[in-house]
Amino acid sequence: MPESLAAPPAPASEPDPEPKPDAAVVRDALGVGVAVGLSGFAFGVTSAGAGLSVLQTCALSLLVFTGASQFALVGALAAGGNPLTAAAGAFFLGVRNAFYGLRLSQLLRLPGPVRPLAAQWVIDETTAVALAQPTRRGARIGFTVTGLSLYVLWNLTTLAGALGAEALGDTTAWGLDAAGPAVFLALLAPMLRTATERMVAGLAVVLGLGFLPVLPAGVPVLVAALAAPAVLWLEGRRRAARGTDTAGRKGADR
């Protein structure tokens, strides 16, 4: 049969991703869980220094379990902010976990009865470890080990920090309130891969720091959240202008 009449060859299927050894996934997940879990001590000290009781501090870690939001809440309260404003700032920081959940639900495909429990562990660290795995099995192991180790250690160190706050004296002198944001930034920085993402992060920093001296505690965080829609609007305008210019040049060429 002539080659011109022969059936086209079937496209080569993409090779399956090479699985990562379970032991390596567990090792990496434990490394993240232990490293970040120890910063729960800083949260416990900061929360107690802001005037929250040991019970209130532990309840935040047990029920909220998202470090950036917890630090934002107690930081705003310590600065004299309104509790509702502080809670709103913490809420908007925590909304990102809902988007993580949408991505992880497709990746992990956990059984229905397990999903409500797994939702408590959908945070920056578990998402980062799960998405870094080449297979669904690795993602499930990474998510579970990171979530379990981080949840247990974070709550234990929160309790230790809240109980030990009195022994440390003036907690602001230790600078422990910077530990949580530092960990969050360390996790966030590698995710800023595109120019748009870096622009959003940069504008958010400018807005947050710029309005910090003039707005009540907790409100600058809400203002910083406007960086995303502002940059996306500007990006849309730029693309529309580029499309108009391209269409105009094509018309002129005709």
Q: For residue 237, what pLDDT is reported?
A: 86
Compute the Cα dihedral for 160, 164, 165, 171 and give only its sign.
Answer: negative
Percent of the chain with pLDDT over 90: 31
177: confidence class by pLDDT, cuts 50, 70, 90: low
Round to whole Å and give the CA distance between 25 and 74: 34
Checking if the pLDDT of 232 tops 70, the result is yes
Compute the Cα dihedral for 22, 24, 127, 52 and give only its sign.
Answer: positive
Percent of the chain with pLDDT over 70: 78
Round to whole Å and give the CA distance between 17 and 206: 41
pLDDT, tens digit (0-9, with 9 covering 90-100), for 107-138: 999 998 999 889 999 998 899 899 989 999 99
Q: Which residue has the higher pLDDT, 219 or 9?
A: 219
Round to whole Å and give the CA distance between 222 and 219: 5
pLDDT, tens digit (0-9, with 9 covering 90-100), for 6-48: 444 544 444 556 778 899 999 999 999 998 888 898 889 888 8
Q: For residue 42, what pLDDT is reported?
A: 85
Contacts of 55 (CB under 8 A, 6+ apart): none
